[in-house]
Amino acid sequence: MSAAVTYAGPRSRTLGYGPRTSAAATDIRPAASTRLRLGRPFRGARMLGIGALAAIWVTGSATGLIDPRILPAPWTVVTTGIDLVSTGRLQENLAISLQRSALGLVFGVSIGVVLALLAGLSRLGDALIDGPIQVKRSIPNLALLPLLILWFGIGEDMKVITIAIGVFLPIYIHTHNGLRSIDARFVELSETVALSRAQFVRRVVLPGALPGFLLGLRFAVTGSMLALVVVEQVNATAGIGYMMELARTYGQTEIIFVGLVVYGVLGYTADAVVRLLQRRALSWRKTLED
Amino acid sequence: MAQDTRGLRGSGAQPQAEQTTRGPGHDQPSVVVRDLVRAYGDEPVLDHLDLDIAAGEFVAILGRSGSGKSTLLRALAGLDRDVPGSGTVTVPASVSVVFQDSRLLPWAKVLDNVVLGLAAATGLSRADAHRAGAAALAEVGLAGRERAWPGELSGGEQQRVSLARSLVRSPELLLADEPFGALDALTRTRMHGLLRDLLERHRPAVLMVTHDVDEAIVLADRVVVLDAGRIAAQERPADHRDQHALRTHLLAALGVEKSSSPTPEPQEVPA
């Protein structure tokens, strides 16, 4: 009680409680609250920088200050995109790119999950698998490209395999980590309710490792995009990356820009899909975060 | 009643011999602990402990941190396979454990937590197991919450789900490790009432570890004070008219001076 009383004393003096003039009270508010702070967030803050850049781009192109060979006008990029769609060239190349990354993802995720399960659920599996993968981890994926080209040629096999290698590693690491970090208390519980090993894996281990797997999947999707971009610029005859490479040789900057936009949309969509999946599959966790 | 003998290591007596020496009496104990030794390193945690629990009897174990009360419970639960020791522990075939934390799988709905492993363990069909689980939830006052996530429940409700999970297995022995230790005082009192009702109907033998003398007196048929791995005192609250004197006596056995107030001891951490 005594602390509250002594606190109330100076507080009533500075804030002007009691018989004080209102002018003293209004003085205090603005000075005290914003002097060292960033101030209020305002609406559309995120769009401001993007809008400013776009404005510079538009005015630069319209006034001819920007050389269209360096940076084509925004409307040129848009009309080029429409042209590419109407001739069917964009869809054709996009389909090839999507097929590559989808195949790479499917193989990479499957391999990553199987290896993580083998290593996570048995001591022998861990001893055999985890070491080599930790070694592989320190070699950048794209450094393997010359070797993969020698082994698998420059065709689709090499491209899908490169993407799969970029995918399986994050899946393995995060799933394995998820499997290994299952709470020992749940293991104890499973013993007291006499779960069989199969039930234990199905009811406790796999759902417990799911958050790790989904985190790995987000990294994997990003990794597959990165690998896709690189393999499509190596001796490809189709795909968004090939379309951009070809445009480079003809100096068609606007087509390169269309390709960049497509890659951006692809990456964003893929990440959004995984995040949606995460929200659905981990709905039990959402209730805790709300 | 099927018997299961655990923790045989070193020079323990044969459980079969024990059963025959006792003979088939109607008051045959549900739990028989003989000459139980458990040690972490050089420190004996349980020191040649003997304990019987009759069928349907509620025994509360009191003790300071490190007195061996949790170690005893873990020995009865069969959760101490990697702890060196000797002696025999005979427990019924169906044993349920209630932990201090409710220990619900956060990714499984409440009903799925209650029936975890039930169908396979009892031979019930899935539908029957779910019916039994829903009935157990209704018994603990959580009818209608079958499809909730554990994270949506309060601490007291979670512990009630964990009670339902234990009781749906119709255990002959219920082991409870400070089951109400993490709850606030009001919820705790309500849980005492609920537990008494449930035990009235299901009548398992109970061994409850607690650090709360009052809780032990209120709930148990027999209060056992453990000290340094041995039984330091045993009392039947029903034999005592003066509960206050009993309380003082038990506190003294726990090493708490008469004058000092009963402060809750820090949580014992099971190794």
User: Does the beta carbon of B101 lie under 8 angstroms from any beta carbon of chain A?
Assistant: yes
> In this complex, is the C-beta atom of B264 within 8 Å of any C-beta atom belonging to chain A?
no
Question: Any idea what the Cα angle at residue B163 is, between residues B116 and B191, rounded to 5°?
Answer: 160
B255, amino acid identity = G
pLDDT at position B116, please?
Answer: 93
Same domain, residue pair A96 and A24: no
Q: CB of B199 within 8 A of CB of B219?
A: no
Looking at residue B4, what is its pLDDT? 52
User: Considering only alpha carbons, which residue of chain A is nearest residue B75?
Assistant: A192
A21 and A101 fall within a common domain: no
- Average pLDDT rounded to a whole number, residues A103-124: 94
Model pLDDT, residue A1: 39
Which helix (H) or strand (E) is B111 found in, with range?
helix B110-114
pLDDT reported for residue B6: 52
What separation in angstroms does the CA of B147 have from each of A46, A261, B114? 40, 44, 11
Query: Does residue A76 lie in a domain region?
Result: no
Residue A203 contacts B where some CB pair is shorter than 8 Å: yes
Shared-domain flag, residues A165 and A266: yes
* pLDDT value for A30: 52
Q: Do A186 and B101 touch (CB under 8 A)?
A: no
| Predicted pLDDT of residue A7 | 43
Q: In terms of CA atoms, which chain B residue is nearest residue A200?
A: B117
Query: Residue holding tokens 């390169």?
Result: A256
Host domain of residue A7: 2-34
Question: Tens of pLDDT along B29-40?
Answer: 888 999 888 888
Find chain A residues with C-beta within 8 A of B96's C-beta: 192
Indicate if the alpha-carbon torsion angle B110, B114, B120, B123 is positive or negative. Answer: negative
Domain count across chain A: 2
Q: What are phi and psi of B82, to 5 degrees?
A: -95, 10
Q: Please, where are the H alpha helices in A16-155?
A: 22-34, 45-62, 74-86, 89-121, 123-137, 145-152
Contact B77 A204 (CB under 8 A): no
Q: What is the pLDDT of residues A58-89, one digit of tens each?
A: 999 999 888 888 889 989 999 999 999 999 99
Q: Is residue A63 part of a domain?
A: no
Give the other-Cβ count within 10 Å of B76's Cβ: 24
Q: From the list B79, B121, B152, which residue is nearest A287 (CB)?
A: B152
How far apart CA A282 and CA B30 sit, in angstroms, is 43
Contact flag A191-B79 (C-beta cutoff 8 Å): yes
pLDDT at A15 over 80: no
User: Does the residue A241 lie in any domain?
Assistant: yes
pLDDT at A272 over 60: yes
Which has the higher per-residue pLDDT, A103 or B260? A103
A188 touches B: beta carbon within 8 Å: yes
- A171 and A276, same domain (yes or no): yes
Same domain, A25 and A154: no
For A32-54, the pLDDT digits (tens) are 556 777 777 788 777 888 899 99
* Predicted local confidence at residue A108, as pLDDT: 96
| Domain membership flag for residue A78 | no
Asked if residue A48 belongs to a domain, the reply is no
Do residues A127 and A236 share a domain?
Answer: yes
Q: What is the pLDDT of residue B147?
A: 93
pLDDT on residue B24:
38
Output the CA–CA distances (angstroms, integers) from residue A44 to A49, A56, B259, B261, in the order listed.
Answer: 10, 18, 67, 61
Does residue A223 contact residue A169 with C-beta atoms inside 8 Å? yes
In a domain? residue A114: yes
Residue at A47 is within a domain: no
Residues A242, A117 share a domain: yes
Q: Which of residues 167-226 of B touch A (CB under 8 A)?
A: 169
Arithmetic mean of pLDDT over chain A = 84
Angle CA A13–A18–A19, to nearest 5: 105
Closest to A225 (Cα-Cα) out of A268, A255, A279, A272: A268
A283 shares its domain with A195: yes
The pLDDT tens digits of the residues spanning B226-255 come to 988 888 888 898 888 888 888 888 888 888
Q: What dihedral angle (degrees, nearest 10) is formed by the CA atoms of A230, A233, A237, A239? A: 60
CATH number for the domain that contains residue A111: 1.10.3720.10
The answer to whether residue A71 is domain-embedded is no
Strand partners, B58: B206
Report whether pLDDT(A190) > 50.
yes
Which one of B81, B105, B114 makes the best mutation probe of the A interface by having the most chain A beta carbons within 10 Å? B105
Please compute, for residue A247, the number of CA atoms within 13 A of its CA located in the half-sphere on the CB side.
Answer: 22
**Does B116 reach chain A within 8 Å, measured CB to CB?**
yes
pLDDT given at position B11 = 38
Q: Which one, of B132, B176, B116, lies nearest residue A195 by Cα?
A: B116
Residue B201: per-residue pLDDT: 86
Per-residue pLDDT 10s for chain B (271 aa) are 445 555 444 433 333 333 333 333 446 788 899 988 888 887 888 888 899 999 999 999 998 888 888 889 999 998 887 788 888 888 898 899 999 899 999 999 999 999 998 988 888 899 999 999 999 999 889 999 999 999 999 988 999 999 999 999 989 999 999 999 888 888 888 889 899 988 888 899 999 999 889 899 989 999 999 988 888 888 898 888 888 888 888 888 888 765 545 555 555 555 4
Q: What does the alpha-carbon distance between residue A58 and residue A74 come to, in Å, rounded to a whole number?
A: 7
- Considering only CB atoms, B151 lies closest to which of A185, A192, A284, namely A284
